[in-house]
Every structure is written in structure tokens, then in C-alpha cells.
Amino acid sequence: MTTDDDGGELREESSPRPAYQSQVHYLIVQREPTGFEAPHTFFRYGERVLPVFCAREAASTFIAYRALGEGWYVRMFSVGELISLLFALHEKVEWVLFSPLPGHLLIEDALSHMTSRDNFIASLLVR
């Protein structure tokens, strides 16, 4: 979980939670001209956040609500694929937000469900 310190910075509050124990996860992706499927991210306090969903329908609703534009779609990732992607994005993604509700991204309670990329990976490995 994250908290806001007095300087507006996010910091980790607790260790990994086993809430991410699904066999598959869903990301919103867009195919780049190189063929790579780039995941949708957003910024919070200047750091990139990756939304990860436990259901395809939740990710589809997120796309519709956020009006991401053409080319974005939902893709299923196995645990291994997701871990590989998170390692590949090591320099770009700091935080993971698990199953966010699209209209609640600015509500602090929703953002308290963010966890660091490294803790999210650790929670996926602890099965």
C-alpha cells in the first residue's frame, strides 16, 4: 500500500499482499509499429503507474470510461508473461494499481491500493 508523505511523494507502506494470486491478469495494450504490445500507463506524482486487472470486463470498462482512443485493447497475461513484462519495463514503471475502477483514479482511497512494481512481482512469485 502507498501513502502520501507531506512532500507529495508516494512511499511503500507494507509488504506484498497475496491479493494478486490469479493465474491470469489483464492489461490494456496497444500494438506499436515495432510489433511490441505497449501497456497503458498513467502518471501519479511524476511516476508511471501500470493498471493491472483481474477480469477482462473490468479492463474493457476502464478503456471505455477513460476514452483511450483507437488501438487500445485488453490482453490476457499469464503470471510468467506479466513478470517478464514488468522486468522489461523496470526503468519505466514504478507502481502497479490492481483492478482500478475507472472513475476513481483521483480518489486517494483508490490510489492506496497501489504497490511498488517490485512488491507486485514478489507477490506473483509467492504462490
Query: Domain ranges in the chain?
Result: 24-125
pLDDT tens figures, 105-125: 555 555 667 899 999 999 998
C-alpha cell of residue 122: 514478489
Provide mean pLDDT across the span 18-41.
Answer: 82
Specify whether the CB–CB gap between 32 and 38 falls below 8 A: yes
- In the prediction, which pLDDT does 9 show? 52
pTM value? 0.76
pLDDT tens figures, 40-88: 988 887 889 999 999 999 999 888 887 788 899 999 999 999 999 999 9
Separation between Cα atoms, residue 80 and residue 90, nearest integer Å? 15
Specify whether the CB–CB gap between 48 and 40 falls below 8 A: no
Separation between Cα atoms, residue 124 and residue 121, nearest integer Å? 5
What CATH number was assigned to the domain covering residues 24-125? 3.40.1350.90
Provide mean pLDDT across the span 81-99.
Answer: 91
Least confident of 9-18, 27-36, 75-84, 117-126: 9-18
Phi first, then psi: what are they for 56, rounded to 5°?
-60, -40
- In the prediction, which pLDDT does 77 show? 95
Provide mean pLDDT across the span 23-33.
Answer: 92
